[in-house]
């Protein structure tokens, strides 16, 4: 089969993925499933992988390369292991990003991302920038005919991450309260739609790009703000004392320090974007009784819920399609912000 493979980490990102012929994958465990890829979303994490940001965590022994990235996958079941009962060849599926074990305590609690024996195809093993992917039965959510497999591919990770954070935010903000979404890109534009569905709270969208703010209005934001050094003061004034919850999809370049400063007492700062460093005086944490929390992808239940919202047209993804041969152009377009929403690779 054809696959786009990474041969070398490069902080400057001059390195390109190499399109080549590799052996077709094989089922090695009775619970495994081979999925014929219909679409694979391109994620900022893929760029960070190429840059070597994840090297220490994913590849401490330096033995991972060459390998195939791609962790936002949809497709058609091609073959199943002898123990698989939940899916059969021909089923349309989206892949939860983690190939979780199912028997550890975290898996039994339903928190797939906490699995202590999980593998993450596309991060620590071969992923979906190829014609076929090996995952396991537990990772697969079956999709009905009306769901477009290309459009929903980014929901496997980007959408799921946005969904978990937005669902948590919807529980934290009262219907007459305020939620602020910072960064209306690949994840933020999805979080906004999920919040619109799950909460009656007033939604404030923040982005430095004017076209992102235009999209934010179409997707249900009540107010939009352009970001910048005045942002904290603007939010405090608009909300009459601060937001109940802030979702930060940027998490770097100083934005991470703005999130908690725009909370009202008892507010929560949810961190989804990453790269920066948070410094909060402990006395502020107490005086404001604030909470700061990270959010890690999402579990199987949350992916199922999100697929139901997508099937009913309540959440839609803006996608830009590229063929597998065009993957390096997609990466270049992503780096230079030449599209809104998410790029999807179609083999």
Name the residue number minimizing CB distance to Zn ion: 43
CB of 158 to Zn ion, least distance (A): 6
DSSP state of 324: G
317 binds Zn ion (CB under 5 A): no
DSSP state of 58: H
* Ranges within 109-128 binding Zn ion (CB under 5 A): 115
Helix (H) / strand (E) element for 204: namely strand 202-206
Phi, psi of 89 (to 5 degrees): -55, 135
Which is nearest to 65 in space by CA: 117, 17, 119?
17
For Zn ion, the closer CB: 72 or 207: 72
170 binds Zn ion (CB under 5 A): no
Cα–Cα distance, 44 to 252 (Å, whole number): 14
261 binds Zn ion (CB under 5 A): no
Instruction: Look up residue 242 and give its two tokens.
Output: 């601060």
Interface residue with Zn ion, options 3, 37, 45, 334 (CB under 5 A): 45
For Zn ion, the closer CB: 123 or 203: 123
CB of 318 to Zn ion, least distance (A): 16
CA torsion, points 8, 11, 12, 16, in degrees to nearest 10?
30
Find how far residue 39's CA is from the centre of its chain.
15
Q: Choose one: 127-135, 152-160, 168-176, 195-203; the region binding Zn ion (CB under 5 A).
A: 152-160
Helix (H) / strand (E) element for 92: namely strand 92-95
For Zn ion, the closer CB: 100 or 239: 100
195 binds Zn ion (CB under 5 A): no
For Zn ion, the closer CB: 107 or 315: 107
43 binds Zn ion (CB under 5 A): yes
Cβ neighbors of 51 (< 8 A, separation 6 or more) are: 9, 10, 11, 13
CB of 6 to Zn ion, least distance (A): 15
For Zn ion, what does the binding mask look like between residues 86 and 105, x meaning CB under 5 A? --------------xx--x-
* Residue with tokens 């529980």, as numbered in its chain: 171
Q: Which stretches of the chain bind Zn ion, using CB under 5 A?
A: 43, 45, 100-101, 104, 107, 115, 157
């Amino acid at each position: 089969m054809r696959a786009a493979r990474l041969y070398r980490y490069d902080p400057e990102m001059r390195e390109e993925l190499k399109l080549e012929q590799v052996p077709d994958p094989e089922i090695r465990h009775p619970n495994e499933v081979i999925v014929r890829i219909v679409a694979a979303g391109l994620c900022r994490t893929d760029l960070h992988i190429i840059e070597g940001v994840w090297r220490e965590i994913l590849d401490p022994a330096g033995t991972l390369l060459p390998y195939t990235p791609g962790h936002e996958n949809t497709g058609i079941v091609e073959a199943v292991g002898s123990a698989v009962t939940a899916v059969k060849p021909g089923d349309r599926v989206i892949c939860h990003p983690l190939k979780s074990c199912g028997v550890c305590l975290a898996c039994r609690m339903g928190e797939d991302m906490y699995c202590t024996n999980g593998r993450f195809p596309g991060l620590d093993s071969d992923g979906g920038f190829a014609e076929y992917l090996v995952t396991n039965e537990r990772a697969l959510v079956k999709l009905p005919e009306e769901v477009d497999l290309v459009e929903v591919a980014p929901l496997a990770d980007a959408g799921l991450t946005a969904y978990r954070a937005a669902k948590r935010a919807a529980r934290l903000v009262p219907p007459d309260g305020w939620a602020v979404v910072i960064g209306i890109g690949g994840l933020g534009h999805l979080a906004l739609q999920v919040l619109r569905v799950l909460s009656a709270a007033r939604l404030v969208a923040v982005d430095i790009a004017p076209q992102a703010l235009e999209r934010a209005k179409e997707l249900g934001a009540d107010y939009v703000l352009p970001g910048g050094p005045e942002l904290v003061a603007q939010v405090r004034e608009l909300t009459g004392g601060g937001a109940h919850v802030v979702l930060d999809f940027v998490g770097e370049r100083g934005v991470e320090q703005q999130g908690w400063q725009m909370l009202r007492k008892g507010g929560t700062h949810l961190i989804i974007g990453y790269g920066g460093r948070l410094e909060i005086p402990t006395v502020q944490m107490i005086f404001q009784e604030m909470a700061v929390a990270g959010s890690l992808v999402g579990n199987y239940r949350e992916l199922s819920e999100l697929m139901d919202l997508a099937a009913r047209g309540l959440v839609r993804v803006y996608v830009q399609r590229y063929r597998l041969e065009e993957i390096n152009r997609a990466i270049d377009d992503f780096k230079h912000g030449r599209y809104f929403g998410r790029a999807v690779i179609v083999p």
